[in-house]
Amino acid sequence: MMKWFVFLAMFLVLGFPLKGEASGPGVVVRSCQVMSEPFKDAREVISLKEGDTVEILKRKGGWFQVSGKGKTGWVRMLYIRPGDSGEKVSAAKEASGVLGLATGRAG
């Protein structure tokens, strides 16, 4: 039962943008291609490298429409971290937040 609750909490926390909206700045966390449409077999518009910054315009399914390097297109959500590049959060801090949800303890 506890594993199920932790899984559900992680899904809810990680399944939504951190700021509650799909627009704003973002950072590329893994090199990727920007596509013309939100489909993996769409035409490639441009390539982005890890650390590049983009502006997230909107979300459609598992894709973000982004603007960067003078081009606009679609990138899988897995490759973009919403927020400014200065907002680095350690994996331990993220995990402690999820575990805090699971245990009900604050701190």
pLDDT at 53 over 70: yes
pLDDT computed for residue 94 by the predictor: 55
| C-alpha dihedral (39, 42, 46, 51), degrees to nearest 10 | 20
CATH tag for 21-86 (out of 3.40.50.300, 2.30.30.40, 3.90.1280.10, 3.40.50.1370): 2.30.30.40
Among 81, 73, 80, 77, which Cα is nearest to 42's?
Answer: 73
pLDDT computed for residue 20 by the predictor: 44
Q: Yes or no: say if 33 and 63 are a contact pair by the CB < 8 Å rule.
A: no
Q: Indicate the pTM of the whole model.
A: 0.61
Q: Looking at per-residue confidence, does 11 or 17 come out higher?
A: 11
pLDDT computed for residue 98 by the predictor: 52
Give CA–CA dist 72/78, Å, rounded: 18
Q: Looking at per-residue confidence, does 31 or 85 come out higher?
A: 31
Q: Where do the domains of the chain lie?
A: 21-86
pLDDT at 105 over 60: no
Strand runs labelled E in the chain: 24-28, 32-35, 44-48, 53-60, 63-68, 71-76, 80-82
pLDDT at 77 over 90: yes
